[in-house]
Amino acid sequence: MKVAIVKYNAGNVSSVLYALKRLGVDGVITDSPTELSTANKVIFPGVGSAGAAMAYLKERDLDKLIISLKQPVLGICLGMQLLCAYSEEEDTTCLDVFKQSIKKINGSEKVPHVGWNNITNYKTDLFKGLDENAFVYFVHSYYAELSTYTISETNYGGLFSSALQHNNFYGVQFHPEKSGEVGNTILKNFIEL
């Protein structure tokens, strides 16, 4: 089992690598097109800004590579947002796997949304073995609205998509690598897809 973690101008790649090691899975952090294309699974993590991240991906043609992948791909936080069509963050055109926009959290809620919150209404095996309303860890200022791609929901001043799926592409707004046993289960389920 070869799991490639996309190396790009965004944080948290090391914490994803350590989370995989806890599961007994070897991962490699890489921006090599060959390694990404031949991996059994690809994880597309991210902490940072949409504009800078997309610029880095485009400079290296990783934008075209990622959308061409046929194996299961998991976007985490910014990685999930970049898999959408557009982000209000820095007016950024993204990868367009999920045909929807990322919007800034507004209203009376504190921004960023930081801390533990629950996920509900699961729709795929990514959440196999989890109790409904499991708690996961979030850090984000932007969100995806509910859509036909939504495979779990979270309420923070209104419902939003805490996870998305389209074909072999999955995205989670939360950080499974920082979400304890629930996060380990989600990562294990992804590895076993």
What is the reported pLDDT for 108?
86
For residue 186, pLDDT beyond 90? yes
> Residue 25 belongs to a domain with what CATH number?
3.40.50.880
The model's confidence at residue 1, banded by pLDDT at 50, 70 and 90, is very high
What is the reported pLDDT for 107?
79
pLDDT digits (tens, 9 = 90+) for 112-167: 999 999 999 999 999 999 999 999 999 999 999 999 999 999 999 999 999 999 99
What is the reported pLDDT for 6?
95
- Considering 77, 94, 113, 140, which one is annotated as catalytic? 77
77 has catalytic annotation: yes
The neighbouring-strand residues paired with 167 are none
The Cα–Cα gap between 127 and 46 comes to 21
How many domains are contained in the chain?
A: 1
For residue 191, pLDDT beyond 90? yes
What is the reported pLDDT for 47?
84
94 has catalytic annotation: no
For residue 9, pLDDT beyond 80? no
* Rounded alpha-carbon distances, angstroms, from residue 11 to 15, 17, 42, 47, 171: 9, 12, 16, 5, 17
- Considering 89, 94, 113, 175, which one is annotated as catalytic? 175
177 has catalytic annotation: yes
For residue 8, pLDDT beyond 90? no
Average pLDDT, stretch 96-101? 98
Q: What percent of the chain has pLDDT above 90?
A: 93
pLDDT digits (tens, 9 = 90+) for 25-35: 999 999 999 99
The Cα–Cα gap between 110 and 98 comes to 26
- Considering 90, 177, 181, 192, which one is annotated as catalytic? 177
Radius of gyration of the chain (CA): 15
What is the reported pLDDT for 112?
96
CB-CB neighbours of 180 under 10 Å: 13
The Cα–Cα gap between 59 and 9 comes to 11
Encode burial over 96-135: b for 16+ CB neighbours within 10 A, e otherwise. ebbebbbeebeeeeeeebeeebbbebbeeebbeebeeebb
pLDDT digits (tens, 9 = 90+) for 40-91: 999 999 888 999 999 999 999 999 999 999 999 999 999 999 999 999 999 9
**Is 10 in contact with 46 (CB distance < 8 Å)?**
yes
**Is 103 in contact with 143 (CB distance < 8 Å)?**
yes
- For the chain, the average pLDDT equals 96
- Domain hosting 179: range is 3-192
The neighbouring-strand residues paired with 75 are 44, 171
pLDDT digits (tens, 9 = 90+) for 104-115: 999 789 999 999
Burial label, 48 (beta-carbon count in 10 A; 0-12, 13-18, 19+):
middle
